[in-house]
Structure 1
Amino acid sequence: MDRAISIDTLRRRLHLRIATGLVLVTGLCAAAWGINRVVRPSITASEIVVAEVRRGDIANTINASGVVIPVHEEVVSTPVATRVAKVHAKPGQQVTQGELLLELDDRELRLALDSLKEQLAQQENRIVVLTQELEQKHKQLVSSIELLEIDLQSVRAKHERFQKLRASGAVSGEDMLTAELNVKRTEIQLRQQREQVDDTRRATRSAIEAANLQKAILQKQIAQQEQRLAQARVTAPFSGMLTSLIEEEGASVAVGQQVARVSELNNYRVEATLSDFHARLLAPGQAVRVEQNGEVLAGTVHTILPEIQNGTIKLLVDLAQPHNQLLRNKMRVDVNIVTDRKANALVITSGLAFNGRGRQPAWQVQDGVARKTTLELGSSDGKLVEIVAGAQPGERFIVSDTSTFKELDSIRISQ
């Protein structure tokens, strides 16, 4: 005979079924969570850099590479083709104005200078001779004129006497004509002698002026040769750093070849190089930020060089602190040229996640998950990027490199 199951037994069975169901549901949830952890990709927070969108001022900049150069630098070149006779200095040392750096072989210069001085002495002697000749000729002509003046007085007196005797018939017509001709001949000779005085004076003066001109030319050539001779002793044009020098004694040098270069100490500017694509955006006076090892120096565009080489353009930047102790000759720096400024713009820290202007994908971080979205970017100054559309202040985005998960729509961020 069957007995009825007790209420306690039924209650225990019900509790067992409920407990078993709860265990199964919990197990299924745990399994789903575990599968999700395994299947859904994730990254650790230490692998990424996250920045917050905020309001701020931003400057649009053009990036360029720069080299620190001295404001004042002077090149010393050789005046003639010669060789290095003796070296007195070494590159890299500090020199004072007028300090002897090296000596060039000056034997040919001295020979040429001696030859010019001999030519000058000849010209000076020629001028003396011409002057003496002019004085002698003038004296001779003056004497001839004085004699002709006496002859003219004599023939005129004879002519006047013949005129009186002609009236009484004591002088023939032929004698009278001869006397008249003698007067005219003597007058012509006297006029010719006086003209010859002027002609001789002009001719001799022209010769003297030509000799003086040649003398002046020789004097200039001598001065130039003496200057070249002085340049054979190569000295520092001003106090500074000797940045280059021909150190090999006996080395041949050509005319105009650089033998030394002296640069001013602790007074620098920057020579920047960038693509000619940006040439239309550049203008003198634009603000510039020069960066090196985290240090930022302010400056302005001084000169935009007109020549374009291999698709690049160069400009010179004046620094607000040209004597800064961080600067070194030929140091490479980053140059950011400010072309525009915006106030109270929506900005975020710049990073590898962003690439230029325009619409591009970005990963917004919220509740431990980075979800793919689209941002429209505007100006950038190398530190900040302007967000034109797609974000609000306070939202957070990954700004580090996102290339490893660029094909995903979302990714979990684990601690």
Structure 2
Amino acid sequence: MLPANKIAPIFLTLVAALVLSGCALLPSGGLADRAAAEEPTPTPIPTPVVAVKPTYKVQRGEIVHELEFSGRISPVNEEDLFFRASGRVRAVFKKRNDFVTAGEIIAELEIDSLERQLEAAELELERAQVRLDQAQQALAYQQKVAQTNLEIAQLRLAALQADAQPDTTAIAIQQKQVELAQLEVERLSQGVDPLLVSDVTRAELNVQKLKADIAEHQVIAPFDGQLLSVSLTPGQAVDAYKPVATLADVTELEVSADLISTQMQDLVEGMPASIILVSRPGVELTGSIRRLPYPYGSGGRGTTVEDLDKSTRITLDQSAAEAGYELGDLVRVRVELERKADVLWLPPQALRVFDGRRFAVIQDGDVQRRVDVTVGIETPERVEIEAGLEEGQVVIGQ
């Protein structure tokens, strides 16, 4: 066995030989050549694409300015119903979709106290009326008796005056009897005691007042129709003049629409309109604006709850039976505001606005230049050109 001091040099010599043989196996060029071979290919920078702006040709044709809005088939006569007094509901006699006649009670508040007062007032009226009737009957009898006494006195006076030897004293006395009888007839002709008449009148007024008070605690149908809604239950507390039901005459229908002021300011009562049923797009009906709310038309001028309807109403030329529409159907209404034929026009996107100035960019050969324009009717599809451009000119859009 070799000594340790000779083994160490031999081991180091073998390790060096192995390292040198490993380096000999590497490809030529070394690490630098490999790094150069693995460098990424640079990405080419794309050439910027110049956007082509659209062009439009000034054309001549017709422009129609229309207003279009949504509406609903509604009754011509529709009214919100309410109590005219606050209280708690005692009874509800009708429900939604029920048909009622004018004067029929739909619901009422707790009015037990008023009903008792009315009963007592009606009894007092009856008593006062009985007293008056008795007095009138007695007066009629007394008038007949007084008239008969007057006639008897007049006959006696005539007999005395016709005597062959008239007794002047007896004639004078009888003349006084005639005067007394005449005075009695005149007194009775003045009628019964005015206090009896006043008692009846006062009792009638009291009954009328109590009936009016009870009516204010009731919801009463003002006309024949169908209840579109009833939001009442017994025991419910309600406030005066707050709508609790809606009554409509469903035999006559029209279109109702809620418009904003900018729409209504362009409309006039009597304007023709086209109506398209949303459920039947191919069916187009005709009609006219019947009413616009105040101050744009004749509707909604009053101060009462009944007069505060702010909807726009359009009358239909076709009946429900002819056209097949029903209460509540949605519709689209189109109203022609203005129409011009044989005018120059461009689409809205062909014109530009800067600092209040309306202009167009036209292609004049190889040069583009700005031209101020004056416009007329404007619609979503067409803008009338009144001045600044000519037919056939090419305008560069935005």
Stretches of structure 1 lacking an aligned partner (at least 5 in a row) = 1-33, 162-178, 403-415
What residue is the counterpart of 1:164 in the other structure? none
Aligned to 1:262: 247
Are 1:283 and 2:268 an aligned pair? yes
Contact 1:271-1:317 within 8 A present in 2 as well: no
Say whether the 8 Å CA contact 1:100–1:236 is kept in structure 2.
Answer: no
Q: Give 1:197's match in structure 2, choosing from 172, 185, 205.
A: 185
Structure 1 CA distance, aligned partners of 2:357 and 2:319? 40
What does residue 259 of structure 2 align with?
Answer: 272
Q: Distance in 1 between matches of 2:285 and 2:50?
A: 44
Taking the aligned partners of 2:173 and 2:93, their CA distance within structure 1 comes to 82
1:377, 1:387 within 8 Å by CA — same for their partners in 2? Answer: yes
- Note closer, same or farther for the CA distance 1:129–1:156 as it changes in structure 2 (3 Å cut): same
Matched, 1:56 2:61: yes
Match of 1:42 in 2: 51
CA contact (8 A) 2:226 2:247 kept: yes
- For residue 172 of structure 2, the aligned residue among 178, 181, 184 is 184
Alignment of 1:10-409 (within 5 A): 38=48, 42=51, 53-61=58-66, 68=72, 70=74, 71-78=76-83, 80-87=85-92, 94-97=97-100, 102-138=107-143, 141=146, 145=150, 160=165, 180-204=168-192, 207=194, 210=197, 214=201, 221=208, 225=211, 232=218, 238-240=224-226, 242-243=228-229, 245-246=231-232, 249-254=235-240, 256-263=241-248, 267-275=254-262, 282-288=267-273, 299-307=287-295, 316-318=313-315, 337-350=335-348, 360-363=358-361, 373-389=371-387, 390-393=389-392, 395=394, 398=397, 402=398
Q: CA deviation at 1:261?
A: 1.6
- TM-score w.r.t. the length of structure 2 is 0.58
Structure 2 CA distance for aligned equivalents of residues 236 and 95 of structure 1 = 15
User: 1:243-286: per-residue Cα shift (whole Å, max 9, x none)?
Assistant: 463457331433x553312346674233433249x85x653323
Deviation string 1:270-321 (CA, Å, 9 cap, x unpaired) is 3433249x85x6533234467999x797653333444379xxx985444567
TM-superposed deviation, 1:379: 0.8
What one-letter code is carried by the residue in structure 2 that aligns with 1:261? T
RMSD of the TM alignment (CA)?
5.5
Residue range with higher mean Cα deviation, 186-195 or 263-272: 263-272
Tell me which amino acid in the other structure corresponds to 1:59.
Answer: V
Equivalent position SS for 2:295 = strand
Query: Which residue number in structure 1 is paired with residue 24 of structure 2?
Result: none
The answer on whether the counterparts of 2:228 and 2:245 sit within 8 Å (CA) in structure 1 is yes
Q: Secondary structure at 2:174's aligned position in 1?
A: helix
| Corresponding residue for residue 170 of structure 1 | none
Is contact 2:350-2:396 (8 Å) kept?
A: no
Equivalent residue pairs, number: 328
In the alignment, is the contact (CA less than 8 A) between 2:111 and 2:217 conserved in 1?
no
- Which one has the bigger helix percentage? 1
TM-score of the aligned structures, taking structure 1 as reference length: 0.56
CA distance in 2, matches of 1:138, 1:100: 48
- 1:190-232 C-alpha deviation (Å, 9 max, x unpaired): 222123113213333x85994798399569939x939956983
**Identical residues among aligned pairs (%):** 17
Pick closer, same or farther for the CA change 1:261–1:193 going to 2, 3 Å: same
1:258 aligned counterpart, secondary structure = coil
Is the Cα contact below 8 Å between 2:97 and 2:229 reproduced in 1?
A: no
Q: In structure 2, what is the Cα distance between the partners aligned to 1:237 and 1:122?
A: 36
Supply the AA of the counterpart residue of 1:78: F
Partner AA of 1:283 in structure 2 = V
TM superposition shift of 1:342: 0.9
| Structure 2, gaps ≥5 residues long | 1-44, 301-309
